[in-house]
Structures are given as C-alpha cells and as structure tokens.
Amino acid sequence: IQALQARSAAEDELLQEARLRGEAQERAIESARSRKAADQALDEKATARARVEAQAAELSRVREEEEKGAIATARARAHAQSHAESAERIRAEADKSATALAGERVRAEALALEAEQRKIEATRAALAAAETRARAEAEVRTLAETRRGNATQLSQLRGRILALWSARARHRAFVALRASAALVAIAGAVYVASIALQSTERPLQSSETPKEPAIAAPVSLKLDYRLHTEPRR
C-alpha cells in the first residue's frame, strides 16, 4: 500500500511535473508565439517604417526633382523672358524697319501712281491722236475713193468726148475728103478748061505738052493741111 501510495505520489508528482512542464511549454509556446508576434509586429513595423522611409525618400527625391524642375523652370522662364525681351527688341527694331520700309513703299507707290497717271494721260493723248488719225485716214480714203470715182467718171467723160471728137473728126475728114474731091474735080475742070483755052489761043502749039498750072500744088497742099489738122481740133 505504501508502495502504491508512493507510486501514486510519484505518479502524481510526475503528473504534476508533466503538467508543470506542459504549462511551461505552453508558456514557452505562448512566449514564442508572443515573441513571434512581437517579431512579426516589429517586422511589420520595420517594413512599414522602411516603406514610410522609402516613401519619404521617394517624396524627398520627388520633391528634390520638383525643386530641380522648378529651378530649371525658373531658369528656363528667366531665359525665355530674356529671349522674349530680345525678341521684343528685335520686333521693335523690325517694326521700325517695317515702318521705314512702309514709308519708302508709300513714296514708291505714290511715284508709281503718278507714273501710271502720266501713262494714262499719254495713252489718252495717243488714243485721241490715233482716233484723229483714223478719222483723217477715213476722210483720206473717202476723198481718195471720191477722187477715184471722179477719175473714173472723168475718164468715162473723156472717153465719150474722145469718141465724139473721133466721130466729129471722121465726119470732118469725110467732108474734107468730099470737098477735096470736089476741089480736085474743079481743079481738073479748070485745068481742062485752061488747056482748051490755050489750045484755042495757040492752035499752032497744040502738039506741045501743056504745063501744069501754078495753083495746083498750093491747092493740094492746103487740102492735105486741112486733112491733117481737122481731127486735132
């Protein structure tokens, strides 16, 4: 019984030890868990801190870049303003030059306008002269046509007059021819009569050749002169 009791007590002690060991292990496990949780929390905090620090560093870098960008922007703005001032000065000089050129152009345009007006006046004068010349040439052509018509009419009249003169000359020539024939007949009769008279006065000289009367030649010459001069009158 004592052995059983001792054994029971020993078992109780063992059980108690086991319980204590179990409790200690549970406490150790809990402690480990707590330590692990604390480590995790620390790790999380460290991670969060690292993340925050990284974000802060990123923000610092971004802020620095922004500052650098702002500085570069300010420098660029200053450079642009200086360029703008230079451009404004150049523009002002260009405006002055353009104003001077505009004045020169206005004077040139005025001179060109005056030249064009003079040219217009000269063209008008030339046009008036050309119109006057055209009218004069038309009058000259009209007068020339009238003169040609008059010349044609004059030639026709001259032709008619020449025809009348030719007919009259032919008529006068015919009359002169008849008159000359009559005169020749009269001269022949006179010649025969003179021969007969001479034969009666000089019977002894009837065998001699009678001489031609002295008036025969002048009569024929007079008739020939009339025949040649009558058609020309």
Between the alpha carbon of residue 12 and those of residues 1, 8, 18, 22, 208, the distances in Å are 15, 6, 9, 14, 244
**Cβ-defined contacts of 69-75 (< 8 Å, 24+):** none
Check: CB of residue 217 under 8 Å from CB of residue 181.
no
Q: State the CB neighbour count (10 A cutoff) for residue 97.
A: 10
Check: CB of residue 180 under 8 Å from CB of residue 148.
no
pLDDT per residue as tens digits for the range 72-111? 888 888 888 888 888 888 888 888 888 888 888 888 888 9
Check: CB of residue 180 under 8 Å from CB of residue 223.
yes
Structure tokens at 155: 């030639």
pLDDT per residue as tens digits for the range 3-60? 667 777 777 777 777 777 777 777 888 888 788 877 887 888 888 888 888 888 888 8
**176 vs 194: CA distance, rounded Å:** 25
Residue 211 exposed, middle or buried by CB count within 10 Å (0-12, 13-18, 19+): exposed
Q: What is the pLDDT of residue 55?
A: 80
Check: CB of residue 213 under 8 Å from CB of residue 190.
yes
Q: State the Rg of the chain over Cα.
A: 82
**68 vs 71: CA distance, rounded Å:** 5
* Single-letter amino acid code for the residue at 57: A
pLDDT per residue as tens digits for the range 141-181? 888 888 888 888 888 888 888 888 887 777 777 777 777 77
**233 vs 219: CA distance, rounded Å:** 21
Q: What is the pLDDT of residue 146?
A: 86
**231 vs 176: CA distance, rounded Å:** 11
pTM exceeding the 0.85 threshold for the entire prediction = no
Q: Which residue has the tokens 């206005």?
A: 106
